[in-house]
Amino acid sequence: MAINRQRGVLMLQSGLRLDGFAFGAIGESAAEVVFNTSMTGYQEILTDPSYAGQIVVLTQPQIGNYGIAARDAQSDGGPKASGLIVRERSAIASNFAGEQTLDEYLAAHGVMGIDGVDTRALVLHLREAGAMNGVISGVDFDSDSLKSKAEAAPNMEGLDLVRSVTRSAVGEFEPRDSTPEEELLALPGGTRHHIVALDFGIKRNILELMSAENFRITLVPATTGAEDILALKPDGVFCSNGPGDPAAVTYAIETIAALAGLVPMFGICLGHQLMALALGAKTFKLKFGHRGGNHPVRDEQTGRIEITAQNHGFCVDADTLPTASAGTDGAEPTHWNLNDSTLEGFRHRERRMFAVQYHPEAAPGPHDSGYLFRRFRKLIEELSPPGIDSST
């Protein structure tokens, strides 16, 4: 099948220009340009709300060969990334579950892609110079004009993007493959605990895996206050992944600080950063971030090395975590990134909180870290013994 070729261009604020071919919704998009090293899972990456405000470069050279399947989407409403850059867009899509080609999918949702560019050179540039703003265009090819547009795009530092991806109302999560309640209660440790999930841009597979642990999940908007959350009588609170600068999400930090110690809490990615900020720690922006499905992390509690999926541009400064003082045990690092020794997880025993920076739901990625959902259940059951159905 021949691909209709239409001119496209990428311009970074550094002045690097790469010409290629536009696809999807032909237009223009300016945002932070970041790269992901995953070998597969382009649909899950595109629909991850954590990519809001970012144009994603995929290092896997051929993209689109298995098309788009609705079941693989990690959020409703199509892609959340601002654009896509690939080396080669597949001319065909072969998949028994496929419903659209990548080109058709992006076009239907108003998202532009560009292929035919040297993604190896681009990724090397971003590694050396750091993630930066850029613009992809199929309508403007003037270098000076494009560079000005890239420079004018919002800076990720100080940017609250959570409001653009969070849900608008409280709602109950319904898993795709629900299990009858009598089967749930027949399982070992079959208590169905009630979780309130703060939606900062949550991925669907996180919810599916928590549901598989027999949690009943109530989703609430990111702006929900502590009193309203407690009024829902949760057995635990989950702080989700999401986009943007965690330090800018001040309303969520205040809510988490008010909940800390009152109910068991678990956080992933942005949730990890917000929970640390609520305890008084600080965050900083990484040079080019961690995005991909092959990042080694050591669990200090077991000594085990996990291969993890990651997607984050900010990180918690481990040196600023509150340490033990008179009457408290403080926060304790639990996971470390073996590539650059950055913090990947912490816990606070006294306040019954723990969080990880990476994505244990593995969509896409390895399944090494699925135990964390069971660890959350165990933390809750230390307070609510098995055998009592807390959903009633």
Alpha helix stretches (DSSP H) within 159-214:
181-186, 204-212
Catalytic member of 44, 306, 361, 381: 361
CA distance 301 to 278: 23
CA distance 51 to 376: 26
Active site residue 315: no
Active site residue 269: yes
- DSSP code for 4: P
For 151-170, give one letter per residue: b (16+ CB within 10 A) or e: bebeebeebbbbeebbbeee
Catalytic member of 269, 306, 348, 381: 269
Looking at the DSSP assignment, which residues form a beta bridge with residue 356?
A: 268, 345
Catalytic member of 125, 272, 348, 359: 359
Q: How far is CA 19 from CA 3, 117, 223, in A?
A: 17, 6, 42
Give the strand order in the sheet containing 283-299. Answer: 171-172, 216-221, 194-199, 236-239, 265-268, 353-356, 343-348, 332-337, 283-299, 305-316
Residue 154 phi, psi dihedral angles, 5° rounding: -60, 140
Tokens representing 133 are 């703003």
> Which residues are catalytically annotated?
269, 359, 361
